Amino acid sequence: MYYISDLHSHIDQEVSLKGWVINSRSSKGIEFIVFRDGTGFLQCIVDENNVGSEVYELSKTLSQESSVEITGKVIKDERQIGGLELHVNNLKIINLTNNYPITNKSHGVQFLMDNRHLWLRSKRQWAIMRVRNSIIYAIHNFFQNEGFMQMDAPLFTGNAAEGSTTLFETEFYDRPAYLSQSGQLYGEAMAMAMGKIYTFGPTFRAEKSKTRRHLSEFWMIEPEMAFYDNEMNMNLIERFIKSVVSEVITRCSSELEVLERDVQFLQKVVETDFPRISYDDAVKVLNGVKEINGITSIDLLNKDLKAITEQIEQVNNDIVEREEILSDETLKQKKRNFIQNKIDILKNDLIDLQEKASHIPEWIKSAQNFKYGEDFGGSDETVLTRMFSLPIMVYNWPKDIKAFYMKRDDENPDLVKGVDVLAPEGFGEIVGGSERETDYDILLGRIREHKLPEDVFKWYLDLRDYGSVPHSGFGLGLERFVSWITNTKHIRETIPFPRMYGRLEP
């Protein structure tokens, strides 16, 4: 048995493939079958003169998503994606499909999500899942090569660890229990046993968030390193992200092509130092007080707004032009329908553009009014990364907006040594990390300040009693990372079966 991904080494040979029909087109005496087998896509040509009328007639009955065994000769053809096609000699139908719901036309989000179990077969979803797999592989690869040990943190926890977030409550032998929102505290314990560890597991948050960046169940990677300060932590994060991106570029070139991902952009991420900016400076940038590359955030946003406004004008003119054509009453019905459809499409584009344009003034306002001491909102992150077009690292945060375990800054007790990595192009925070507080009394004080129950942190405080050492770590949200790498606007497409507010099936 052969797979499409191996065919390059079988050019001009006869092979037999098993898979599914994506689509078929026909002309007189020739049938084009677009075929997939999970490893790739291939156009198969059934020529009546070549296969005879029996196989040719069979090929005409093939419907979308029918499963088939298909035999033929591999031929080089530059016109095709992948540069190959199959000249069919024989064909066997395994299962003939009727009325496959996802057609080769556009569908709405709800319909596709309701058919997620089938949607995963579609080309774009296929590509996203393949990239996700390569990212997972690259993450393990990186940490294993660096001498990290993978550990599994518990999913049942007895307490709402960091306080702020809402957790899913469940029952554990007649006691209330919560699904874990982070494995970090357990990771710290393990790092004191192993030196360098990382967790890779599911995480649960019960917030009723309805945005393109949130899931109720997502996967997180949380490394924790003994004897690392935040500087070393940031260096590791940067090397780590570059390593994973670089591996995806080499392993997933055809997937990135399907996704229409700008590989040059990713290549730049691998080759350029990530900008590192203190929270203080980030606030100045947002407020428009500090310039980056010779321009303030406010000026850059206004420039963006102007460009979008011009685009809107252009689309508007386009619509008016077509409507004028429609006013000709002698126009044939067919032609009229065609133009009307085009106008409807343009009107939808217009709505998108107008929505974009309407956001920018809000972003400007939010950025200008941003006050020192607040946490960045979604739009603030977009504005900050817009200034660099690279992932940026924001460090030295006000202690009041960060978790209790972060280490205070020696020079300014109001700051903690945390770091957030913001992905460019509006994909938001992909990494949150910090150096951890090592002093027993300060940590206990922070737990009390946050009004957290002391008794459940007793074991955690033990880590500061017995051989406490400087240590740091971070958490990477897998789906947000996949979103960014694959340029997928909504996080729900980056996990096979998303669990989010209002979605438990399929």
Asked if 341 interacts with RNA (CB under 7 A), we say yes
CA distance 8 to 44: 15
- Please tell me whether residue 250 binds RNA under the rule CB under 7 A: no
Q: How far apart are CA 505 and CA 235, in angstroms?
A: 41
Q: Which of 258, 430, 447, 482 binds RNA (CB under 7 A)?
A: 430
Check residue 28 for interaction with RNA (CB under 7 A): yes
Given 124, 140, 408, 503, the residue binding RNA (CB under 7 A): 503
Q: In this structure, what DSSP letter does residue 470 have?
A: -
Complex with RNA: residue 119 or 457, whichever CB lies closer: 119
We find the least distance from the C-beta atom of residue 29 to RNA, in angstroms, to be: 4
Residue type, 31: E
Distance CA(217)–CA(163), nearest Å, equals 18
Interface with RNA, residue 355, by CB under 7 A: yes
**Total residues binding RNA (CB under 7 A):** 75
Q: Do residues 25 and 32 make contact, with C-beta atoms less than 8 angstroms apart?
A: yes
Q: Are 167 and 160 in contact (CB under 8 A)?
A: yes
Q: Which stretch binds RNA (CB under 7 A): 192-200, 299-307, 316-324, 374-382?
A: 374-382
Among 2, 6, 23, 67, binds RNA (CB under 7 A): 23
SS3 353: helix
Query: Which of these, 399, 384, 393, 398, lies nearest to 419 by C-alpha position?
Result: 393
The Cα 152–Cα 186 span in angstroms is: 9
Is residue 64 at the binding interface for RNA, with CB under 7 A as the rule?
Answer: yes
Near RNA in 164-223, by CB under 7 A: 164-165, 182, 205, 207-216, 218, 220
147 is a site residue for RNA (CB under 7 A): no
Instruction: Mark residue 396 as left, alpha or beta (left: phi above 0; alpha: psi -120 to 50; beta: remaining).
Output: left
Q: Does 446 bind RNA (CB under 7 A)?
A: no
Q: In what order do the strands lie in the sheet with 156-157?
A: 156-157, 175-179, 169-172
**E strand residue ranges, 227-290:** 276-278
Instruction: With contacts defined by CB under 7 A, name the span among 27-35, 227-235, 264-272, 455-463 that binds RNA.
Output: 27-35
Q: Are 50 and 68 in contact (CB under 8 A)?
A: no
| Complex with RNA: residue 255 or 381, whichever CB lies closer | 381
Within 13 Å and on the Cβ side, how many CA atoms surround 9? 4
29 binds RNA (CB under 7 A): yes
Interacting stretch for RNA, rule CB under 7 A, among 44-52, 186-194, 321-329, 441-449?
44-52
Of 29 and 361, which has the nearer Cβ to RNA?
29
Phi–psi pair at 179, nearest 5 degrees: -75, 140
The smaller minimum CB distance to RNA, of residues 27 and 264, is found at 27
List the interface residues with RNA, window 471-500 (CB under 7 A): 475-477, 479-480, 490-491
Token look-up 């874990």 returns: 180
Among residues 1, 9, 12, 49, the one that binds RNA under rule CB under 7 A = 49
Q: Are residues 486 and 128 in contact, defined by beta-carbon separation less than 8 angstroms?
A: yes
Binding range to RNA, per CB under 7 A, among 128-136, 249-257, 297-305, 470-478: 470-478
User: What's the closest the beta carbon of residue 372 comes to RNA, in angstroms?
Assistant: 15
Sheet holding 428-435, edge to edge: 149-151, 196-204, 217-226, 471-477, 428-435, 415-423, 392-398, 276-278
Does 431 contact RNA by CB under 7 A?
yes
Q: Which is nearer to RNA, 213 or 284 (CB)?
A: 213
Q: State which of residues 9, 27, 53, 264 lies at the interface with RNA (CB under 7 A).
A: 27
Q: How far apart are CA 263 and CA 330, in angstroms?
A: 49
Distance CA 166, CA 504 (A): 18
Shortest distance (Å) from residue 174 CB to RNA: 28
For RNA, which stretch binds (CB under 7 A), given 72-80, 152-160, 194-202, 460-468? 72-80
- Least distance (Å) between residue 81 CB and RNA: 7
401 belongs to the binding site for RNA (CB under 7 A): yes
The residue behind tokens 């997937």 is: 255
Task: Please name every residue paired with 178 in a beta bridge, in sequence order, or none if there are none.
Answer: 157, 169
- Distance in angstroms (rounded) separating the CA atoms of residues 111 and 100: 13
Count CB-CB contacts under 10 A for residue 430: 24
CB of 173 to RNA, least distance (A): 28
Residue 134 or residue 494: which is nearer to RNA going by CB?
A: 494
Binding mask 379-398 for RNA (x = CB under 7 A): x-x-----------------
Among the listed residues 337, 372, 445, 506, the single contact to RNA using CB under 7 A: 337
Closer to RNA by CB, 64 or 296: give it.
Answer: 64
